[in-house]
A and B are shown apart, each in its own frame.
Chain A
Amino acid sequence: MQRRIDYKLIEDLVPEGATVLDLACGDGELLSELIAEKHVRGSGVEIDQAAVEKCIGRGLSVFHGDLDAGLADFGDQSHDVVILSLSLQQLRRPRMIVREMVRVGRLAIVSFPNFAHWTPRSQLLLRGRMPVSRDLPYQWWDTPNIHLCTVQDFRKLCREEGLRIEHEMYLRAVDKDPPARIVAPNLLARIGIFAVTRC
């Protein structure tokens, strides 16, 4: 299976041997890669029973829980890195979870689909329809993506929360190598990856 480029970029941000908490870790693919490549002490949080079972089958440490309830079971600064990969838009309280991430972890890595990419923009502008694309494949009436945001929105959230953006990276797709530099990422990036710390 081809390695996901967004995972590769996230891995590059994680220090060797770090303690990592992966929120909405799914079946544990990113965590397994981090353990294999970066020798991290990793664990995940996941709400879905089948996904938890897969994680456990892989020998991962996973906590079955609902991110919308926060991270009360995790202590302040108990992890080097806390990751939320492409799930921010599915949470009921995304701002709260970003706060929780920088409370629990020294570095928070958040990736999200950029709703201001020209594809959704043009679908809305030209067709007058809710955008449906490879990154956002759902119809408006069944989408789990209830809190979509843009690159600009996330930067603004970081400013308001007093978070320092250590790294920001952009992808045109999860399976294509990132361009050396994207000009106007808010228009041209499909995915934004931010690494932030509490100032």
Chain B
Amino acid sequence: MTESKPAARKEIGDVAMGYDDDAGNAGIVRTRRVTFDQPGQELALEGGGTLAPFTLAYETYGSLSERKDNAVLVTHALSGDAHVAGRHSANDKRPGWWDMMIGPGKGLDTDKYFVICANVIGGCTGSTGPASTNPATGKPFGTDFPIITIADMVNAQVRLLDHLGIDKLLAAVGGSMGGMQVLELVVSHPDRTHLCVPLATAARQPTQAIAFNEVGRQAIMADPNWRGGHYYGGKTPAKGLSVARMVGHITYLSDEAMEEKFGRRLQDILDYTFTFSADFEVESYLRHQGLSFTNRFDANTYLYITRALDYFDLSRQHGTLVKAFEEVKARFLVMGFSSDWLHPPYQLKEIVSALRATHKHVSYYEVESHYGHDAFLLEREKMEGIIAAFLSSGARTYHR
């Protein structure tokens, strides 16, 4: 394998020193890339075929202990990336997507833990995905990129753990699609983590979520600029992707949160325009969300990742969820969010019940929140104490 950038001062542990005024924050970080291109490093895919070579973009925070027993893998959701905390430069406007949870003294305390986050394969922010160059043709893969699954994403990240010399994580933590990845990890690689924290997720993609994803995919594929997925170098299917994002965004909020955030307020006008322009704040907001998403996300990645989500069903290979969990060794903290209607608390409780049926060590916590599915990205105070307590008590029972 080859590191595409030379290692900086520290081999691992990217947080730049000298930002004491930034206490509590993860500091300045940069994204690294590692390419797995050696024989034996091919990624055998669940749907058949292999991906080789492949690259993962990742970031790390804090320092890996000498015994390598303090590593925490954070897995990202549909639109996430490796940049989970900190800033890329001192004048970077926005921190990473879960900055509220990661940093010195935070829920995932980087003074204690070595936090890792990687962009999933199929992604569009540094890891190999449909926009990457197909070595067979020298052109972007487009829809020639193989269909990938949650298990494939996990297997790729296990390669990264190997690369970093981490036999067994202290914890794997993830929400939504990230939650599916940590569940897949403990089922297919039971020895790779001591603790598992799935948040706002499910052991199988629920029907309603497949339905919404299909609407998003149809919007992308109906965009004339999509051109069968081979649009790189030309106009992108921005309109389709934007509509897909708008639909997705609705599922991340809640009725109550929308009423509170927008109500029926009008956007910069005093009365209806009696046209189809974005009279309502909520329309304007969704259009803005959709449009800004197209600046940072690839439409084909949206297709591939939603497909991976839809195929996710832990019980499929094992018959039942209880059987899937039989060989699991990790201890669990499962978290649901009261107003999440994409993954309502009952879907988390199903995971808990199945784990309990096989006598696994599992705790369940339900966060009272009106933020809907997005609550796991917002409700810092209601989550971090519990997560911190789970990690520190879990660290006492860590063993290889």
Q: Which residues of A contact B (CB under 8 A)?
A: 19, 41, 43, 49, 52-65, 73-75, 78
Contacting pair B364 A57 (CB below 8 A): no
Interface 9-mer from B254-262, B310-318, B355-363:
B355-363
Contacting pair B353 A56 (CB below 8 A): no
> Would A56 and B382 be within 8 Å (CB), given that A63-B352, A73-B349, A73-B352 are in contact?
no
In the complex, what's the smallest C-beta–C-beta distance from A57 to chain B, in angstroms?
4
Task: Specify the chain B residue showing the minimal Cβ separation from A45.
Answer: B364
Q: Which residues of B contact A (CB under 8 A)?
A: 333, 349, 352-353, 356-357, 359, 361-366, 382, 385-386, 389-390, 392-394, 396-397
The residue from B361, B389, B396, B397 contacting A53, defined by CB atoms under 8 A apart? B389
Residues of B with C-beta under 8 A to A78: 356-357
Contacting pair A57 B392 (CB below 8 A): yes
Contacting pair A56 B393 (CB below 8 A): yes
- The distance in angstroms between the C-alpha atoms of A58 and B349, with both chains bound, is 22
Task: Specify the chain A residue showing the minimal Cβ separation from B357.
Answer: A75
> Would A65 and B359 be within 8 Å (CB), given that A49-B382, A56-B333 are in contact?
no
In the complex, what's the smallest C-beta–C-beta distance from B77 to chain A, in angstroms?
23
In the complex, what's the smallest C-beta–C-beta distance from A56 to chain B, in angstroms?
4
> Would A53 and B385 be within 8 Å (CB), given that A41-B359, A73-B352 are in contact?
yes
Contacting pair A59 B397 (CB below 8 A): yes
Residues of A with C-beta under 8 A to B366: 64-65
Could you list 8 A-B pairs, sorted by A, with CB under 8 Å?
Answer: A53-B385, A56-B333, A56-B365, A59-B396, A61-B363, A63-B352, A65-B366, A78-B356
Residues of B with C-beta under 8 A to A65: 364, 366
- The distance in angstroms between the C-alpha atoms of A120 and B179, with both chains bound, is 52
Task: Specify the chain B residue showing the minimal Cβ separation from A60.
Answer: B363
- The distance in angstroms between the C-alpha atoms of A53 and B389, with both chains bound, is 6
> Would A49 and B396 be within 8 Å (CB), given that A61-B362, A64-B364 are in contact?
no
Residues of A with C-beta under 8 A to B361: 61
> Would A63 and B389 be within 8 Å (CB), given that A73-B349, A73-B352, A75-B357 are in contact?
no
- The distance in angstroms between the C-alpha atoms of A54 and B363, with both chains bound, is 12
Contacting pair B386 A53 (CB below 8 A): yes
Q: Give the interface centre of A53, A56, A65 by most chain B CB atoms within 10 Å.
A: A56
Given contacts A56-B365, A73-B353, A78-B356, 13 further A-B contacts (CB under 8 A): A19-B359, A49-B385, A52-B386, A53-B385, A56-B393, A57-B393, A61-B363, A62-B364, A64-B363, A64-B364, A65-B366, A73-B352, A78-B357
4 closest Cβ pairs, A-B complex: A57-B389, A59-B393, A64-B365, A56-B389
- The distance in angstroms between the C-alpha atoms of A157 and B246, with both chains bound, is 56
Residues of B with C-beta under 8 A to A56: 333, 363, 365, 386, 389-390, 393
Contacting pair A49 B349 (CB below 8 A): no
Residues of B with C-beta under 8 A to A19: 359
Residues of B with C-beta under 8 A to A41: 359
- The distance in angstroms between the C-alpha atoms of A77 and B138, with both chains bound, is 62
- The distance in angstroms between the C-alpha atoms of A78 and B356, with both chains bound, is 9
- The distance in angstroms between the C-alpha atoms of A168 and B333, with both chains bound, is 37
Contacting pair B357 A55 (CB below 8 A): no
Q: Give the interface centre of A52, A54, A64 by most chain B CB atoms within 10 Å.
A: A64
- The distance in angstroms between the C-alpha atoms of A63 and B349, with both chains bound, is 10
